[in-house]
Amino acid sequence: MKHRFVVLAPFVALIMTTPETARAEAPCDCDHVIELSGEVVSGADMGVKPGDSVCVRGGDRPFLRLQKFVGEENAPIEVRNCEGQVNIDNDDKGYGLTVDESRYLRVTGAGDPDIPYGFKVRASRTGPDYSAFGVAVGGLSSDVEIDHMEVYEAGFAGVVMKTESRCDGSANLGNFVMYNSRLHHMYIHDVKGEGIYFGSTGYGGRKFTCDGMEVTLYPHEHHGAWIHDNIIENTGWDGAQIGVTPKDCHFYRNTIKNVGTEGELYQQQGLQVGGASSCKIWGNTLLDGPTNGFFIFGAGHTQLYNNVVANFADTGIYINDQNLDMGSKIEVAHNTVISSGDWGIAVFGAALGPGFLRNNAVAGAGMAEIAIGGEVPAFIDEGNQTADDPDGFGFVDAAARDFHLTENSPLRNVGFPVPEYEIVDDHDGVPRDDGAPDVGAYEFTDTGTTSDTTTTDGTSTDGTATDGTSEGPTSGPTSGPTSGPSSDSGDDTGVETHGSTGGNSDSESGSVSSSDGATSSVTASAGTEGGSTDADAATAGESETDASGCACSSDANANATAAWPMLLVLVGFRRRKQSAVA
């Protein structure tokens, strides 16, 4: 028989609830319960074992720090809300919800089917020394799944998943890999920094001061990322960014709207992918931003398909090798790109490998619908359709940003098969014609269309986010694409990066220590901040005092994102404007 452990307050209070309230809320029926007094909670001290469930009682609390929750690959630990929504709210910490020193763990807000986001997290501190993350996964954690949460008004990023480089080397390249991260069914909005900050931006190394000496430290890699079915809107910086993720990176069915509201230079993209990350990016909707929609900058092999991008002031899809000689294959197919201030799709970089633009629908660009730099080697431009005015494409309602096709659309049946990999269906999951597919993100269907009416309650009618259900265990990927390649011929395994650690999810580099499983007294400090300091890392400068006792401060300016506007020059490129088929 399993024993049920409860994190107790200093005193026990009887709370009277009406029968109606009790019926409406999911009960706390887990192996362990974290009460409202639990703020810094150790799974090891609670006696949490692989396969156990841990309930977090609904109600208000200032923060929640989860430490040393260590499951097993086939027996993950699940932490979920119970008896209502867990409401985390503070304006003086560097975090709202953190996960440190944990592995094979799922933290989910799906504990009550009547509450789409069972955790609601706000951490609004904006300085002066550091600003707050809403949700942070660090402290050498790996194989962690976060889902069904609302994160808002963060002083910096909504969600961050990485462990910052350390002077003792424990979190650095070659010593640690964060495996199999999953982030899905989140509503992230009105944050000062990025909506999602996944992996480091310091791919080329960042300068730290360790024991009084300046050294260059390299960030760890991420192997396995499934980021999907999230709604991200009103972000001060990028909607999302992915760095140093060279293997098994998947970003799909996300909606990102209204980014870069703080006006921070170089931090205003819809989605930025770099640091040799190699990702499959499909089925996303990106709307409204002051610079670029997709910013593929110094990435590894990349597949970008079935996406909708509209109303970005610079370029809808911008691709550049960042002078990294990786021979990256960039494969761009079946995207709908509308109303870009400069180019619709732009590709630059002599170091790129063979790639292609196929079957993309691009309209309403200020300079050119498609621009491929003259230095780009062996880049195929085939089956794309362009127009000065989106109305020429026969969309259902371009003004309302419903880019589904009408029956008489000139984009119908004029595409070419993509020989490198088969794209079996469209942005909405509608099967594609395998001989003459429609151009753009959507295949025509007479069964009804949807428009841009994403809601904030976990539902969507634009074919992107969310269905309100979890999609698989922590120990394995959530259910794979219902849209996209029918095989892995596109190669998303990436390019081996500097000193790649390789290995698999059982490698010691991705593990953390586990307790012996003994049933110990439950301890959960209330109002104190012991344990790992990862989530307190200063967000702008990314500095922290690591576990070795060495005060490590980074020179954020030394490795700031390269000035991409300097690359947006009129180098020799092939300007191509092809009228839509009449």
The band of 434, judged by pLDDT with boundaries at 50, 70 and 90, is confident
Give the residue among 30, 76, 22 at the shortest CA–CA distance from 49.
76
Question: pLDDT above 90 covers what percent of the chain?
Answer: 68
pLDDT of 428: 96
Among the ranges given (80-89, 136-145, 182-191, 431-440), the one the predictor scored with the smallest mean pLDDT:
431-440
- In SS3 terms, 63-94 reads as CEEEECCECECCECEEEEEEEEEEEEEECCCC
548: left (phi over 0), alpha (psi -120 to 50) or beta: alpha
Whether pLDDT at 9 is above 50: no
Give the three-class secondary structure for 29.
coil
In this predicted model, what pLDDT tens digit does every residue of 282-316 receive, in sequence order? 999 999 999 999 999 999 999 999 999 999 999 99
Cα(386)–Cα(360) distance, rounded to whole angstroms?
8
In this predicted model, what pLDDT tens digit does every residue of 471-511 receive, in sequence order? 333 333 333 333 333 333 333 333 333 333 333 333 333 43
**Mean pLDDT over each residue of the chain, to the nearest integer:** 80
Give CA separation, 489 vs 461, 484, 485, in Å: 31, 12, 8
Rounded average pLDDT over 222-241: 98
Angle subtended at Cα 278 by Cα 97 and Cα 335, rounded to the nearest 5 degrees:
95
In this predicted model, what pLDDT tens digit does every residue of 343-353 receive, in sequence order? 999 999 999 99
Asked if 242 and 225 count as a contact pair (C-beta separation under 8 A), the reply is: yes
pLDDT of 239: 98
Give the three-class secondary structure for 42.
strand
pLDDT of 449: 53
Residue 430 or residue 527, greater confidence? 430
The band of 24, judged by pLDDT with boundaries at 50, 70 and 90, is low
pLDDT of 446: 86
Amino acid at 396: V
The band of 578, judged by pLDDT with boundaries at 50, 70 and 90, is very low
CB atoms within 10 A of CB 566: 7
Whether pLDDT at 44 is above 50: yes
Q: Please give the model's pTM, rounded to 2 decimal places.
A: 0.80
The single-letter DSSP state of residue 260 is: -
pLDDT of 201: 87
In this predicted model, what pLDDT tens digit does every residue of 71-119 receive, in sequence order? 999 999 999 999 999 999 999 999 999 999 999 999 999 999 999 999 9
Q: Give the position of tokens 């819809």.
A: 270
Give the residue among 283, 276, 319 at the shortest CA–CA distance from 299.
276
In this predicted model, what pLDDT tens digit does every residue of 518-535 receive, in sequence order? 222 232 222 223 333 343
Asked if 162 and 198 count as a contact pair (C-beta separation under 8 A), the reply is: yes
Residue 514 or residue 331, greater confidence? 331
Whether pLDDT at 7 is above 90: no
Total count of residues recorded for the chain: 582
The band of 543, judged by pLDDT with boundaries at 50, 70 and 90, is very low
Sign of the alpha-carbon torsion through 393, 398, 401, 406: negative
For residue 566, give the H/E element and its range.
Answer: helix 564-567
pLDDT of 100: 98
Whether pLDDT at 362 is above 70: yes
The band of 25, judged by pLDDT with boundaries at 50, 70 and 90, is confident
The band of 547, judged by pLDDT with boundaries at 50, 70 and 90, is very low
Per residue in 36-59, is it b (16+ CB within 10 Å) or e — as a string?
Answer: bbbbbbbbbbbbbbbebbbbbbbe
Per residue in 4-35, is it b (16+ CB within 10 Å) or e — as a string?
Answer: ebbbeeeeeeeeeeeeeeeeebbebebbbbbb
pLDDT of 447: 78
Asked if 11 and 37 count as a contact pair (C-beta separation under 8 A), the reply is: no
Cα(274)–Cα(202) distance, rounded to whole angstroms?
10
In order, the DSSP letters of 267-336 are: ---SEEEETT--EEEES-EEEEESS-SEEEES-SSEEEES-EEEEESS-SEEEE-TT--S---EEEES-E
Asked if 324 and 297 count as a contact pair (C-beta separation under 8 A), the reply is: no
Whether pLDDT at 10 is above 70: no
Question: pLDDT above 70 covers what percent of the chain?
Answer: 73
Q: Are strands 247-252 and 279-282 parallel, antiparallel or unpaired?
A: parallel
pLDDT of 574: 39
